[in-house]
């Protein structure tokens, strides 16, 4: 929010709309720019329609709510009002994945990347830490057209420091390695870095890519991983259907010259019956460092055999 307030001070086109959520976060914007802040209430379809109207009047509009509410609840309005008109609306979801796990499946955002990346004109960004989130916000303000910014619940460990060359549609290579490539997006980035550190202790050198932009995907980085490393793994706090893993698989399938072992790690495409904290659910679905290492055991053995 600090970044958005800073940008709004310099650009009076920036507006913020919320669906009666985000209090404790949005007050700095609301207090500083009351004429550019709207609480639409628990009416996300109306919120999105208002945002589209403002955007078509020349505004840059951010909509904001938790988990699936600003995406799935108002998907028709995003499709027809925002994307069809290529309106300058940036949909922001806080608490992607299982962040609101204790509130049950109604508050899980586990299919959002899949549906948003199917929409024409839509850019989909899932930053891996607060630094990526700040740079993504700046980049999306500068870019015309619809966008989806998928955030964690805050407090994610910082992976990047100063000097990051952030570009929409271009991944960031965090570590070098030729044995395996770990491609992570959003909240799983820090975990991927930890997995790479553990693998290095066993002599397995992992390349880690932060694929902060899921659409447009950095196909060039995927091609390089397929030709320069022995295996590719995608890691995401999202269903394995339609998200990062599917996007990478599509690229690999269309280029049969890249015959590389490939694995998608994420959430099963089912409704969970489990209720608990984000950490509890990630443990249950093997999205912890230990769980991922266990899931990669076969690939790791193959990589060792090729050394």
Domains of the chain by start residue, with CATH: 2-151 (3.40.50.970), 172-305 (3.40.50.920)
Whole-number pLDDT of residue 257: 86
Q: Residue 42 is encoded by which pair of tokens? A: 């628990």
Burial class, 237, CB count within 10 angstroms (exposed 0-12 / middle 13-18 / buried 19+) = buried
- For position 153, what pLDDT does the model report? 84
Q: What backbone phi and psi angles, to 5 degrees, belong to 103?
A: -95, 0
Contacts of range 99-104, beta carbons closer than 8 Å, 24 or more positions apart: 99/67, 99/152, 99/153, 99/187, 99/278, 100/66, 100/67, 100/153, 100/278, 101/274, 101/275, 101/276, 101/277, 101/278, 101/280, 101/281, 102/275, 102/276, 102/277, 104/275
10-residue stretch averages of pLDDT, the chain, 307 residues long: 95 97 90 97 97 98 94 97 98 95 93 98 97 96 98 86 90 95 97 97 95 98 96 98 98 90 96 93 97 92 63
Residue 259 has what pLDDT?
86
Q: How far apart are CA 298 and CA 76, in angstroms?
A: 42
pLDDT of residue 161: 79
């Amino acid at each position: 929010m600090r970044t958005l307030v800073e940008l709004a001070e310099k650009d009076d086109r920036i507006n913020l709309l919320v669906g009666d959520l985000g209090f404790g976060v949005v007050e700095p914007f609301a207090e500083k720019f009351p004429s550019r802040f709207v609480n639409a209430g628990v009416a996300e379809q109306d919120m999105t329609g208002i945002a589209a109207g403002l955007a078509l009047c020349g505004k840059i509009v951010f909509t904001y709510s938790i988990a699936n509410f600003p995406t799935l609840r108002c998907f028709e309005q995003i499709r027809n009002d925002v994307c069809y008109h290529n309106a300058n609306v940036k949909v922001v979801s806080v608490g992607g994945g299982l962040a609101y796990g204790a509130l049950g499946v109604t508050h899980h955002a586990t299919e959002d990347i899949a549906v948003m990346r199917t929409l024409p004109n839509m850019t989909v960004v899932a930053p891996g830490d607060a630094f990526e989130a700040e740079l993504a916000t700046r980049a999306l303000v500068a870019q015309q057209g619809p966008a989806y910014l998928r955030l964690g619940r805050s407090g994610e460990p910082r992976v990047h420091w100063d000097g990051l060359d952030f570009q929409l549609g271009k991944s960031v290579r965090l570590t070098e390695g030729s044995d395996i490539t770990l491609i992570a997006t959003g909240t799983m980035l820090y975990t991927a870095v930890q997995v790479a550190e553990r693998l290095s202790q066993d002599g397995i050198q992992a390349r880690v890519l932060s694929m902060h932009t899921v659409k447009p995907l950095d196909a060039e980085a995927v091609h390089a991983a397929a030709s320069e490393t022995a295996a590719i793994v995608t890691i995401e706090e999202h269903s394995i259907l339609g998200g990062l893993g599917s996007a990478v698989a599509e690229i690999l399938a269309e280029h049969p010259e890249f015959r590389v072992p490939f694995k998608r790690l994420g959430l099963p495409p089912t409704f969970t019956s489990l209720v608990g904290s984000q950490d509890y659910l990630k443990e249950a679905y093997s999205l912890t460092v230990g769980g991922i290492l266990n899931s990669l055991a076969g690939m790791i053995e193959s990589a060792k055999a090729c050394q």
